[in-house]
Structure 1
Amino acid sequence: MIQRTFSIRDAKDMRAMAMAIRREPLFQSAEGKLLLCLTPGSLQEMIRKELAPLSEEFPDLSIAGMTLLGPLSEEMKLPEDAQISLFLFEKSRVRVSVYDCTDTTPSAVGDTFLSDVQGIPDLQGIFLSSARQSMDPSPFVEKVSAALPNVPLFGAQAGASTSAGDDSLVFTGTKAFRKGILTACFYGKNLHLFAKSCFGWTSLGRSHEVTKTAPGRILTIDQHPAAELYTRYLHILPGQKFYQNSCAFPLIETIGGMPVARVPYRSYDDGSIALYQVPKEGTKVTLAYSKKGSLLATSRECAKDLALFQPEALLVIYCLNRVTLMTDQDPEEELSFYEKVCPCLCCTHGSSEIYRKNDAGGVMNSTLVCVGFRERQAKGSPKALPFEETAEDDWDSLPVTDRLVTFLEETTKELRGTIERLGEIAVSDQLTGIANRRKLHEVIERDLDEGRSISVLMIDIDFFKRINDTCGHQEGDQVLIRLTHLVQEKIRKSDLFARWGGEEFVGVFEETSIEDTEALAERIRKAVEEYDFGKAGRVTVSIGVTNSCPEDTIDALFASLDETLYEAKRTGRNRVCVLRRG
């Protein structure tokens, strides 16, 4: 396969490109032909007009296009030309489709798309773009990814020329939509894809909860107006400059183990903030920042992996928020890593980046996505990488701001580690190391709320006070610890075993019959009776067993458990008693 990328400024450039395409030796024999058009809004009409005769002349040439996002601020300078990239596949194919979303939803389009691609053999990847910035393509992405989890989805939301309006557009050779979804499916046995997202941002401070949302907005975070998060921690005030000041500090959530950034582009008088993709209520988010050296370092590592793949064609989708953080020539330096791997690459930027595979990722901001294509077999590992190895940072000349960010990153890590340890202490029994009464209540309440069937048992050590009185409290503690180990050897890792208090313990077993729990209780009773507790001598236990029932409460469940344990002790101890409920 080959890739040819053209820079377009006017109709003359378009005609020169058309002539070059006609003269391309592989063009006539190629099995798959794609013309990917990435254009500023100011050039889209001219480009579509010039593409029309080319589309008529070559009906087997697939055309897919999107408009680019304009500058984020008056100071930002972006290239004024369009990039049009020709992909020619010798043995693989491309299928381009565009869907009008004027009277339907992205989720419904997802169903239509999945029906359309059913039966396509050897699907390797899907390029995706959507127009109408207020239309979140996430439902489409999630639906398609759930049905095709091993197929990477990648692309960008089409961008508007300015923040004052929305002139975003997706188009093919014959159709264009202001509110639509465009796809390009790449398939074939000989086609290999390398798709990867590059991040480089670090969460700062504690996590916050998205507590109330509306279409296109977060209304409150931690029950306070959302914009207050930026005012409190960053002294960013609502107003006309909110976007310029906040875009370098994305909100981060985690989807499928992958960090996903969201950037607010506007604030309102009521304290709400607008985003192109709004997290669901209850989502945990953190503020994030990065050093330009970190962004470059993560991109360099990604480019190294890409070089080992040895692509024949390359698509790079990057976020202008990365450009906002960098200064001077750093944005060009980041893209130069990929240009050295594949000089004919094409680059695009929209209002959001898209990358999802195996339920990780989604529609995001502040990210770079690279997709390499190859039909031939890789020829071993490259002898030398196409760029020099350099240190991530020159520590002797770091700016003060970078040193402050490093300080914040490290103190954040230490704080989170402390919080995690405190969290573990709060739900753990300090003597035995197993769950405590608080954790036990949390798990049982969750199970009952979710309607999950559970069986429970309660263990009480017979005459434990006698052991403490005759052997001492230290020996009594050893009995509790050894009993814990004995029980843990008998139960599954998924079961919960907790200390209720004193010499009483409780086990919780999800989706387990009361008969199985009774049998387990008997094995535990027998194991304790036969175990040598040393100085404490012979130890026995009484065990009560019961089960949950529909519309149960935790108080009713423990009342039944107490009753059956009391019965075991009343009738002679060292025995198991069962109360079947419901």
Structure 2
Amino acid sequence: MLQLSYDLGSLEEIDDCLQDAELKRHAARHRATLVQFFASRVDAGSIPDLHRKVTEYLPQAIVTGITTAGEIHEGESMLRRTVVVFSFFETAELQLLSYTCCPGQEQSVGRKLTDDILKEKSAAPIKGIQLYATTQRINAAGLLENMKRRLGPTFPVFGAGASSYDNNGEACVFAGEQGYEDGVVAVVFRGRELEIEAYPCLGWEPLSRAMTVTETESPMLVRTLDGVPAASVYEKYLGIQNDENFFNHMLEFPLMLSRDGAVLARVPMLRRSNGSLQLVADVYEGEEVRITYGNPKHIIAAAYDMQKKLARFRPQGVLVFSCYCRQVYLKDGLNLETAGFRDIAPSAGFYTYGEFYGRGEDLALHNATMVAVGMREGAVSDMPSKPVQDQVSFVESPPMEMKARLARFVGVVVEELEQANRELKELMQTDGLTGIYNRRKMDELLGDIFAFGEPGLPCSIVLLDIDWFKRINDTHGHLCGDEVLKRTASILRKHVRGKGEAGRWGGEEFLLLLPDTTSAAAEAFAERIRIEMEQTDFGEAARVTASFGVTTSIPGEAIRQLFKRADEALYSAKRAGRNRVVLH
């Protein structure tokens, strides 16, 4: 494999580039040629002419391209340029696929894309798939659903979202003669000797407490966080107003979430009049998010570590897809995270609105991330890999150092506050003596079961009361009584683990919640606990028994009716002589 790239002022300069005789010689010697344009501006009407020019000189070439918010050429970040990349493959096969994809069509287009990839007849295995999509206008994460399930984890999927220098500007992707303002372009790489590795890096860190996404209008439109308008959260904590600088300010503080073991960032792109935020990528109700902040040292260190891994792979060409928010945040230090690529292999890339990365079920649309892709044909060279220059030391300018220290300070303060909140929450929902849930928490859990449980599924409860508990206290003292309560709680905790919840209801009374449990199963469950208590040595108190009242929910009834029946069953057990289970 051979990769060559050229820095052009515009697409119109491609003529001089194509007349380079060296390009023709390389194309003649190689089996496949991929020509990619990373362009600051593309006139849709010029795309057919651009394709004609390239194929006139390189007849077998596959041509694709994407609009950018910044370009990367041989480790240097640039603005308002066009980078053209020629990738020549000796043995690999390339397949170009492209589709119109309007909002609402994402899953069907993703299914069609996956079908077309899998039906291609080739003896060569797939080694990687590159995706370009118009992520500003569609839910690009929806494209990935079929790919995640059907393509498997044996090769990486990578790529980027079309971007523009103006947040509301024109962004597009193109393939061959066709341009798309709403669309997706895929290049499938196949070859027995072809090897592809892709690596991501983030570097952003949590800044705020965790907040729950409580309402969305679509996967890319968040209405409320913790029940308040999403934009007001940014106003409250960061003072970001809805003005002409909104987008650039928000880029420095993306949201972060964890999903399926991966850490994902989500960049707010627009603020709606109702206080909702439009994101570049998907979030869902119930997910927890945090506002994040970029620690410049950690951002550069993450990029440096990624480059070291890539250098060990010894690629013959490197493609770099980096989020636009990294460009805005690092500003004059931008080259610090890209310069290392020039020490690895010929490299080119651009700044994006969303980055595709992953394998199989881990495939996701990222934000605030830099993805680097290395390719090579053949075995690893015997030549040692070139050392990547450590860029981290260059970050230690006074302004960068101040940002890093402030970010660390805020992060530690937030961590301490969250630990204090966790401890306070534990105190608020736990019985201080027995360590199991208190009445308040059990009320909350039962309310959740009734409000959100699947209709028609039974929920059983067990009320139990320690027999003759006052006599234990009067005879042996309250310390002995406390030990009886703690030992009882320990028995209950053991039995309900994985099946339900146990809590102290008050005094010597306990409550068990058994979701999805029939009355017969709940009665048998209570009987096992009764037998164990009867057979347990309670120390100074010796033999201790309990009475049990069991009942099961009836569809449509109120919680108080359920408790009324359990209470009646418990008192029936008491009146019948104690140390028994009664089912209402």
Given that residues 293 and 392 in structure 1 are in contact (C-alpha distance below 8 angstroms), is that contact kept between their aligned partners in structure 2? no
Matched, 1:244 2:267: no
Match of 1:126 among 113, 126, 129: 129
Distance 1:554 1:122, change over 3 A: farther
CA distance in 2, matches of 1:59, 1:107: 34
**Structure-to-structure mapping, 1:353-368, within 5 angstroms:** 353-357=355-359, 362-368=364-370
Secondary structure (helix, strand or coil) at the match of 2:268 reads coil
CA distance in 1, matches of 2:436, 2:379: 53
Match of 2:478 among 451, 462, 473: 473
CA distance in 2, matches of 1:572, 1:391: 79
Once the 2 structures are TM-superposed, how far is the Cα of residue 236 of structure 1 from its aligned partner? 2.8
Q: Which amino acid aligns with 1:305?
A: K
1:519 counterpart residue number: 524
Matched, 1:285 2:289: yes
1:564 counterpart residue number: 569
Between the aligned residues of both structures, percent identity stands at 30
Matched, 1:302 2:306: yes
Given that residues 239 and 268 in structure 1 are in contact (C-alpha distance below 8 angstroms), is that contact kept between their aligned partners in structure 2? no
CA distance in 2, matches of 1:60, 1:565: 84
Match of 2:201 among 198, 203, 214: 198
Q: Which amino acid aligns with 1:194?
A: E
**Structure-to-structure mapping, 1:32-181, within 5 angstroms:** 33-42=33-42, 49-55=49-55, 61-69=61-69, 78-102=78-102, 105-119=105-119, 122-131=125-134, 133-148=136-151, 150=153, 152-163=156-167, 165-166=169-170, 168-181=171-184
CA distance in 2, matches of 1:324, 1:407: 23
After superposition, the C-alpha distances for 1:49-105 in whole angstroms (9 at most, x for unaligned) are: 34325447767543332111269xxxxx93343223334445544322111125862
The answer to which of 408-417 and 476-485 deviates more is: 476-485
CA distance in 2, matches of 1:159, 1:135: 13
2:5 counterpart residue number: 5
Once the 2 structures are TM-superposed, how far is the Cα of residue 273 of structure 1 from its aligned partner? 4.6
User: Where do 5+ consecutive residues of structure 2 fail to align?
Assistant: 72-76
Once the 2 structures are TM-superposed, how far is the Cα of residue 411 of structure 1 from its aligned partner? 0.5
After superposition, the C-alpha distances for 1:483-518 in whole angstroms (9 at most, x for unaligned) are: 222333444435322222222223333444444433
Once the 2 structures are TM-superposed, how far is the Cα of residue 192 of structure 1 from its aligned partner? 4.3
TM-score normalised according to structure 1 size: 0.85
Distance 1:114 1:443, change over 3 A: farther
Matched, 1:441 2:443: yes
Once the 2 structures are TM-superposed, how far is the Cα of residue 535 of structure 1 from its aligned partner? 0.4
Secondary structure (helix, strand or coil) at the match of 2:7 reads strand
**Structure-to-structure mapping, 1:398-547, within 5 angstroms:** 399-448=401-450, 449-451=452-454, 452-547=457-552
Secondary structure (helix, strand or coil) at the match of 2:303 reads helix
Match of 1:186 among 185, 189, 207: 189
The answer to which of 257-266 and 311-320 deviates more is: 257-266
Given that residues 129 and 155 in structure 1 are in contact (C-alpha distance below 8 angstroms), is that contact kept between their aligned partners in structure 2? yes
After superposition, the C-alpha distances for 1:111-168 in whole angstroms (9 at most, x for unaligned) are: 22232233568545432222372323222234433444636443221123434532x1
1:262 counterpart residue number: 266
TM-score normalised according to structure 2 size: 0.85
2:334 counterpart residue number: 331
Secondary structure (helix, strand or coil) at the match of 1:535 reads helix
CA distance in 1, matches of 2:320, 2:477: 70
After superposition, the C-alpha distances for 1:158-181 in whole angstroms (9 at most, x for unaligned) are: 123434532x12111232212111
User: Where do 5+ consecutive residues of structure 1 fail to align?
Assistant: 72-76
Distance 1:490 1:15, change over 3 A: same
Q: Which amino acid aligns with 1:36?
A: Q
Once the 2 structures are TM-superposed, how far is the Cα of residue 368 of structure 1 from its aligned partner? 1.1
Secondary structure (helix, strand or coil) at the match of 2:432 reads coil
Distance 1:346 1:390, change over 3 A: closer
Secondary structure (helix, strand or coil) at the match of 1:349 reads strand
Secondary structure (helix, strand or coil) at the match of 2:207 reads strand
Once the 2 structures are TM-superposed, how far is the Cα of residue 316 of structure 1 from its aligned partner? 1.5
Given that residues 132 and 178 in structure 1 are in contact (C-alpha distance below 8 angstroms), is that contact kept between their aligned partners in structure 2? no
Give the number of aligned pairs.
Answer: 568
Given that residues 196 and 369 in structure 1 are in contact (C-alpha distance below 8 angstroms), is that contact kept between their aligned partners in structure 2? yes
